[in-house]
Chains A and B, each alone.
Chain A
Amino acid sequence: MNIYTYIFRRLLYMIPVLLGVCLIIFVLFNLVAPDPALLKLGKHGTVEQIAQINHELGLDRPLWVQYLDTVKSAFTLDFGRSWATQQDILEMIKLGALPSLSITGPLFLISTILSIALALLVAFYRGKLIDRFVLLLSIAGMSIPSLAVVLFGQWFFGYYLSWFEISGYESGFPEFIPYVILPVFLYVFVNFGADTRFYRTVILDEVYQDYVRTARSKGLSETVIMFKHVLKNSMIPILTQIIIQIPFLILGLLFAETFFSIPGLGAMIVNAVNNSDFPVIKAMAILSSIFFMLFGILTDVAYTLVDPRMRLK
């Protein structure tokens, strides 16, 4: 199959899935959720007030019309206005994306490079003391709740030692840098365990393959084997892991953005939950799933570029 046909077919399959995503969001927010009029008015709303609000929000129309509204918003990316701030939601997302990316971007780069390098190192010394030590450290790191790391780290490095900005944000390069160093550093610590363990596993998968034994028996050095053969062959799972993380970068970091007062999308989601801002949560759920699907397709296309044996199905 031609690669363009493949991409086209995958994009086409996005439609039923996106309709499904809209259905889940619709069922949750329009059927299961408590009446937004009651949330807005509290316990003292009159029947007329409730009807008024339901009319303003379009909740008095037939359910299928409301579902079509959700679908329409997913395809046009017009999510309406926030109930809390009356801002246009797409504008809010555009505003929040950059601050979020200014932490998640560097974090992603540093974490990925660090854990792949470390994984290569311990795979090189597999079974030795350093391998067991790093593995133990990774599992220990995975077991610490990230909220505890953020709270303790902010207090210790930001407040107690005063090494970094404790909170706040300035937009523009390079003004934002002092504000993101600490959150990035803390999240590198949070991510390091799971990432290193994952990359170590995929690299070790290759180390025991027959072709490695062949390479060794023809006298290649361990370094050449490691970088030229093993790393190249473990690129498929590594690439998948890397690409699949990208859509999450846009979601920002719930804890870090809230505690470090960074006006990103993570903080926006937390605010929306606290203010019962239905449309913002709906918009973020739909938008992030679109990103997720697109990057899923990208991963599969990347496969075929890295590994010609891969067949398009």
Chain B
Amino acid sequence: MMTSTTKQSNSLFKNAILKILSDKISLIALIIVGIYFLVALLTSVGLIASSWNIPVTTSYAPPSAEFWFGADIFGRSVFTRVVKATETAVMLGVVVAIISIVIGTTLGMLAGYFGGWVDELVVWFYTTFASIPGIMMLVSIAFILGKGTTTVFLSLGLTSWVGLCRIVRGEVMKHKDREYVQAANAIGASTPRKLIKHILPNISHLLIINFTQTFDSAIKAEVVLSFLGLSVVGRPSWGTMIDDAKLELARGVWWQLGAATLAMFIIVLAFNVLGDALRDALDPKLKGK
């Protein structure tokens, strides 16, 4: 039999996963990201760090064996707050990445597939968006919406879709004339079916690579919003903790800045490494970059 002699080749995604698992550094990065997501999940259901808002010791108590990162102005444990803020960061990264992927992919696919005036409209739209420097766009949107969680989601999501939209548009333009789309066409597949069922899986690696990049930049941009007083309210975030340090450092209180920076550094670094590994594994054209 034919099937017994030919070995079925792995899919692109299976290959990518195997590649990442076999590389020591990417594996460590993957484990770190996994731990952060687990911590975020456990805090959101209240299993750990539920006492983040309760004073447990004296104001600005320095780090000790009991409280690893000391206490903040209200005597709340900085360690617990950093753990609680993991939930904010992960939620933020995921929601912002999803917003940017939904907008970028939808507009990019429409422009690439239909061409003509649809394409011209989308290109005009993203050129316009991209013409306003990111930082001004971010400041404007966040400022207009006022402080709060929705603001952070929307301002970061609305400012991070252009790059993906541009790439998706280009890829869809290439894919729409390929044989597999013509074949789908021949058996009478509708346009939405061709786009979602046939073309989308073939460009999905771009969305995954984009996810890791947007996740990272969203967590970093939250610090800017915190500095402008426009970040999340009612829950701790690494950005607000770092921003608090502007009043604390002169008194020698470095632990809140140190703890939040460290927590953020580790996950951003892990995502950076993982993003690179994913890009190498999923996009053979970019190999070795």
Contacts and interface: CB of A to CB of B under 8 A. Distances in A.
> Does chain A bind chain B?
yes
Interface of A: 16-18, 20-21, 23-25, 28-29, 32-34, 139-140, 142-148, 151-152, 155, 159, 201, 204-205, 208, 247-248, 251, 254-255, 258-259, 269-270, 273-274, 276, 281-282, 284-285, 288-289, 292-293, 296
Interface stretch (B58-66, B67-75, B124-132, B183-191): B124-132
A204 B133 contact: no
Contacts of B227: 147, 254-255, 258
Interface string B142-155: 01111000000000
Q: Which 10 residue pairs are nearest across A and B when measured between Cβ atoms? A: A20-B128, A143-B268, A143-B269, A155-B249, A148-B261, A289-B131, A285-B136, A289-B132, A33-B144, A145-B223
Given A32-B144, A288-B136, A147 B243 contact: yes
Contacts of B27: none
Contacts of B249: 151-152, 155, 159
B250 A159 contact: yes
B195 interface: no
B245 interface: yes
B220 to A, nearest CB: 6
B131 A293 contact: yes
A21 B264 CA distance: 34
Contacts of A145: 220, 223, 238-239, 242, 261, 264-265
A100 B146 CA distance: 27
Main secondary structure of the interface of B (DSSP, over half): helix
Nearest to A139: B272
Given A145-B242, A270-B228, 11 more contacts: A21-B132, A139-B269, A143-B272, A145-B264, A145-B265, A147-B224, A147-B242, A248-B133, A251-B136, A274-B228, A276-B143
A92 to B, nearest CB: 16
B141 interface: yes
B245 A151 contact: yes
Given A17-B128, A20-B125, A144-B265, A259 B246 contact: yes
Given A20-B124, A281-B143, A204 B261 contact: no
Contact of B139 (A142, A151, A273, A289): A273
Contacts of A23: 128
B272 A142 contact: yes
B286 to A, nearest CB: 9
B273 interface: yes
A269 B139 contact: yes
B242 A151 contact: yes
Contacts of A34: 144, 146
B206 interface: no
Given A147-B243, A254-B224, A285 B124 contact: no
Interface in B247-284: 249-250, 254, 257, 260-261, 264-265, 268-269, 272-273, 276
A75 to B, nearest CB: 15
Contacts of B133: 247-248, 251, 288-289, 292
27 contacts: A17-B127, A17-B131, A20-B131, A24-B132, A28-B141, A32-B145, A139-B272, A139-B273, A140-B269, A142-B268, A143-B264, A143-B268, A144-B265, A145-B220, A145-B238, A147-B224, A147-B227, A148-B223, A151-B249, A155-B254, A247-B133, A254-B228, A270-B228, A273-B230, A281-B140, A284-B136, A285-B140
A143 B265 CA distance: 5
Given A139-B269, A139-B273, A152-B249, A147 B128 contact: no
B124 A16 contact: yes
B158 to A, nearest CB: 10
A292 to B, nearest CB: 5
A281 B144 CA distance: 11
Contacts of B254: 152, 155
A59 B273 CA distance: 50
B250 A155 contact: yes
Interface in B175-204: none
B170 interface: no
A106 to B, nearest CB: 20
B224 A208 contact: no
Contacts of B230: 273
Contacts of A148: 223, 242, 245, 257, 260-261
Contact of B143 (A155, A273, A293): A273
Contacts of A289: 131-133, 136
Nearest to B145: A32
Q: Which of A24, A28, A146, A269 has the most CB of B within 10 A?
A: A24
B45 interface: no
B288 interface: yes
Interface in B64-118: none
A285 B272 contact: no
A182 B176 CA distance: 53
Contacts of B141: 28
A274 B144 CA distance: 12
Interface string B214-231: 000000100110111110
A210 to B, nearest CB: 15
Contacts of A285: 132, 136-137, 140
